[in-house]
Amino acid sequence: MKALSQRRRHPMAAIALLLLGLLVTGGLYAVASTANEAKAETTYSASDIAEGEKLFVANCATCHGMGASGTDDGPSLVGVGAASVDFQVGTGRMPLQMSGPQAMEKPNQFTEEQTAQLSAYVASLGAGPGIPDEEYLEHEGLEAEEIAEGGEIFRVNCAMCHNAAAAGGALTRGKFAPGLADVSEKHIYEAMATGPQNMPVFNDANITPEDKKKVIGFLKTIESQGSPGGADLGSLGPVSEGLFIWVAGLGAVIGFTVWLTSRSS
């Protein structure tokens, strides 16, 4: 310890410390990011990749560039992984319909096979999150407690943008977090893993695949159970309730007051 304390004022001490810090951070990041790497090592055939490249050149390269290396109009797709392509193309967000605050959902432009081929091609360019295993999407067997845990994870991580009832919400400058009803299990998983648009990435170190499955289970439970108290008015909270009482509630009351006073005068 004495040697260390004597050398702490050495001219190289700061540099050594910096190096050490960088090494530790980098090493930790490497460990952490491998945790995020695709679990599903689906092997794509060479023909899938070749077909995918053809589709990519014809439909995507205008913005994303040849070899998906990116242009001024679109980011590089090297290393985004198959999950990202499957989500963006599978929900119709890509190819982009028009420039705007964010890519909008629209009818799917490609068949499932073509989507898989595109995914195969992009996945072949660099490692990234893969398409999730079926076991993380099959939420039917979850216990009530696990679904409730998924709800807690959802409220802590997702509800600030997507709303506690998953009805969606506004972000800045025209961007928004969409409502999550009718989104497939696979796409929910892929969105968490890849963080499309303005969504942050919730990698496997952050929310484990098992926890992602619980979140999916929670979302599907509240979607399928309906609204226990009657029509949910869009699950938008007090604004739609206030609007309803002023328009429908007071409207009905006024109708009756007019009726009650119309006979006598």
- DSSP character at residue 237: T
98 makes contact with other proteins (CB under 8 A): no
58 makes contact with other proteins (CB under 8 A): no
- Backbone φ and ψ for 71, nearest 5 degrees, come out as -135, -170
Helices 81-90 & 185-194, crossing angle to 10 degrees?
130
Count the residues of the shown chain that bind other proteins, applying the rule CB under 8 A. 63
Among 68, 85, 147, 207, binds other proteins (CB under 8 A): 147
Residues 178-237 that bind other proteins (CB under 8 A): 218, 221-222, 225, 227-233, 235-237
Q: Indicate the residue type of 2.
A: K
Q: How far apart are CA 155 and CA 74, in angstroms?
A: 32
Q: Considering only the stretches 27-35, 106-114, 154-162, 181-189, report the one whose residues sit in contact with other proteins under the rule CB under 8 A.
A: 154-162
164 makes contact with other proteins (CB under 8 A): yes
Among 160, 200, 205, 210, binds other proteins (CB under 8 A): 160
Neighbouring residues of 187: CB distance < 8 A, sequence distance ≥ 6: 86, 87, 90, 91
Q: How far apart are CA 144 and CA 246, in angstroms?
A: 38
Q: Which of 43, 172 has the CB closer to other proteins?
A: 172
167 makes contact with other proteins (CB under 8 A): yes
Min CB(260)–other proteins separation in Å? 6
Bridge partners of 169? 177
Q: Which of 118, 188 has the CB closer to other proteins?
A: 188
163 makes contact with other proteins (CB under 8 A): yes
CB 172 within 8 A of CB 162: no
246 makes contact with other proteins (CB under 8 A): yes
- DSSP character at residue 135: G
126 makes contact with other proteins (CB under 8 A): no
159 makes contact with other proteins (CB under 8 A): yes
Q: Which of 71, 227 has the CB closer to other proteins?
A: 227
Secondary structure (DSSP) of 10-60: STTHHHHHHHHHHHHHHHHHHHHHHHHS-S--PPPPHHHHHHHHHHHHHHT
18 makes contact with other proteins (CB under 8 A): no
- Residue 17: C-alpha distances to residues 12, 30, 70 (Å): 9, 20, 37
Contact residues for other proteins, defined by CB under 8 A: 101, 144-145, 147-149, 151-152, 155-156, 159-165, 167-174, 176-177, 218, 221-222, 225, 227-233, 235-239, 241-246, 248-250, 252-254, 256-258, 260-262, 264-265
